[in-house]
Amino acid sequence: MFYFGVDYYPEQWPEERWPEDARLMAGAGFNVVRLAEFAWARLEPQAGRYDFDWLDRAIAILAGQGMRVVLGTPTASPPPWLMTGQPELFRVREDGRRVTYGNRREYCPNHPLYHDYTRGIVTSMATHYGAHPAVIGWQIDNEFGDRCYCPVCAHAFQQWLRSRYQSLDELNQQWGTMFWSHRYGDWAEIPVPLTTGGSPNPGLALDFYRFVSDSYVAYQQMQIDILRRHCPGHFITHNFMGFKYDRLNYYDLARNLDLVAWDNYQRMQWQMQAEVDPSQGALAADTMRGLKRQNFWVMEQQAGPGGWEIVSVPPRPGELRLWAYQSIAHGADAILFFRWRTARFGTEQYWHGLLDHDGRPSRRYEEIKRMGAEIKRAGGHIYGATVRPAVALLLSYDARFAFQIQQNNPQFYYPDHLHQLYRAFYQRHVPLDVAAPAADLSAYRLVLAPALHLVSETVADNLSRFVQAGGVLVLTSRSGVKDEANAVVNRPLPGLLAELSGVEVDEYVSLAAESRNGLEFLLPELATAHPPEATIWCDVLKPNGATVVARYTRDYYAGKPAITLNQFGQGKVVYIGTLGNGPIYETLAGWLLSLAGVRRLLAAAAGVEVTERWQGERRLLFVLNHGEREQEVTLDSRYVSLLDDAAGTAPVEGTVTVPPRDVLVLERV
């Protein structure tokens, strides 16, 4: 069953309004509602005194209109009675200062007392709603992720290190603590990397980031265990924050959940952009699908302009529906809009919902009501259909953390680097998976491994098996530089990947912001009168069996190799020695697809997105026009439109017209 719904906060509105809200939700085609993830103070008004009567009434009203319910455990926003007078429960920031009450996610994820109160509220909710016929699942907490540097976490970090390294001698060796005389003689001597201590040992900092991630995984697991015990028939999830969030290892956080859910906002208050790059939403969705390599839910799909202190640029007519269908095109089996009604009080007064402050249906409501009717017709065809890419992009959270600690070049930002490479293939209408470096890669023909900074023997062997079996691997500079302890390898770069790539880095050059170098492509299929320029970083390469694809044209390393191609086993490895910018990857993308034998789905104009899902052998084609003008697209087969409300719709083939900010969902016949 495809779930289509909304996030609702009945505790924030008069109870006499609830039936009208439920009626309007049903009118929009909604069949699911998320409730209670910020309602701890109402659910437990005093320590140990629980009140579920109001929530029971709200659920009954919603269920009467055909709604199912996902409940949130309310631990992201503790009540004042818990936090007042107990400052040790608050997180400590990386500058050593404790946060204070007034927002959300202020808590330390390792504090035993906070864990006790968490067990209390979660157990009480689980026992009360475990057999409720309207409740189908749980969202744990809300958007995990802030790092805590408090004394409780410092002690827990030391215990985590003891478990990881077993001995101080091993830790000292791995971190290289003889540098600056930092050799530790007792576990209690090891600090957390506060900014007051200056630039930390990279090994210590990386392990601390791993520890914080593991702390949230453990805190989540505590809640999972309670819910599994009392609610065995319900699914359990958490609302992740897409591709750009970089404080936790999302692969680890997703592992023991039944499914991944995430929050999808295309226009945010702090960006204020006039235009939206649709490849960002696509990459975020593909990343979320890749965490468990399965379809996902969108627990918060943008419903209007966002805003706390600033009101963001509003979505244009059609964009909310278009963005929701983009999520579906990339693997969503449920869409819930955030939020139902725009709050009159509190920090999120300007984070708009489908209804405005006055509670009347808006243009946005009518747009989503149209989509609700479409989902009622098409949802059964879409639900469970899978995405099957032949190309994978490797996302390493160890690399992400390492680049947070040492950026290498002030112009370099690891997520942007991945996005630039992803976008080059997205623009060619080639579906991608996002995968972990150690994941099974046998389903892919082409694997992109940008800036794979930390490489273990396990990952190196995994990539080697993929290439030997006939795959095409793409590496970029700053790959293979570090070991698992975040120490630079004691061998020529790219370290464990040097033999695989058939090349060594003879020298590397970190470029100033205004610096550029030219590239000359030696292969006829890549030669162009206006080749892209090298920026940010240049690896000066020494081939050891690899063929030179491009060379630099300026500065003291003019004529030296910049990009190489190596045959390894049955496959090939391309090493791109400059981080460069988008045009480099756009130039190379078509050639790389040809090397790997991967074809794009359809030809389409810029601003049109084409992707697909598969239901067994049934192919669903999604064509999304993100632009301001109608576009024509030539289909590759005969299809029927799943969104058309006309009974017995005639098949469509040949050239079709897609209006601006509109979408086609087609099933091949």
| Residues with catalytic roles | 143, 300
3-class SS of residue 563: strand
**Cα Rg of the chain, angstroms:** 26
Query: Per-residue DSSP letters for 428-447?
Result: TT--EEEE-TTS--TT-SEE
Phi/psi for 196 (5° steps) reads: -65, -15
Helix (H) or strand (E) holding 377: helix 363-382
Q: Please answer whether residues 77 and 40 qualify as being in contact, where contact means their C-beta atoms are separated by less than 8 angstroms.
A: yes
- Measured CA to CA in angstroms, residue 62 lies from 18, 30, 52, 471 at distances of 8, 10, 15, 51
Residue for token digits 């805590």?
148
Q: What is the DSSP letter of 189?
A: G
Q: Please answer whether residues 390 and 598 qualify as being in contact, where contact means their C-beta atoms are separated by less than 8 angstroms.
A: yes
Residues whose CB is less than 8 angstroms from the CB of residue 366 and which lie 6 or more positions away in sequence, other chains included:
none
How many Cβ atoms are within 10 Å of 529's Cβ, its own excluded? 4
Q: Please answer whether residues 573 and 473 qualify as being in contact, where contact means their C-beta atoms are separated by less than 8 angstroms.
A: yes
Q: Please answer whether residues 401 and 435 qualify as being in contact, where contact means their C-beta atoms are separated by less than 8 angstroms.
A: no
Spell out the alpha helix ranges (H) of 65-150.
80-83, 112-129
* Residue 182: alpha-carbon gap to chain centroid: 36
- Please give the single-letter amino acid code of residue 407: Q
Rounded Cα–Cα distance for residues 347 and 103 (Å) = 8
Rounded Cα–Cα distance for residues 440 and 572 (Å) = 18
* Residue 455: alpha-carbon gap to chain centroid: 22
Phi/psi for 429 (5° steps) reads: 60, 45
Q: Please answer whether residues 383 and 35 qualify as being in contact, where contact means their C-beta atoms are separated by less than 8 angstroms.
A: no
Residues whose CB is less than 8 angstroms from the CB of residue 559 and which lie 6 or more positions away in sequence, other chains included:
551, 552, 553
Rounded Cα–Cα distance for residues 579 and 561 (Å) = 14
> Sign of torsion, CA 90 96 99 105?
negative
Helix (H) or strand (E) holding 567: strand 561-568
Phi/psi for 26 (5° steps) reads: -60, -35
Phi/psi for 220 (5° steps) reads: -65, -40
Phi/psi for 655 (5° steps) reads: -95, 130
Bridge partners, residue 561, by sequence: 551
Rounded Cα–Cα distance for residues 540 and 165 (Å) = 36
Rounded Cα–Cα distance for residues 80 and 104 (Å) = 11
Rounded Cα–Cα distance for residues 360 and 341 (Å) = 9
Helix (H) or strand (E) holding 474: strand 472-476
Pairing of strands 472-476, 446-449: parallel
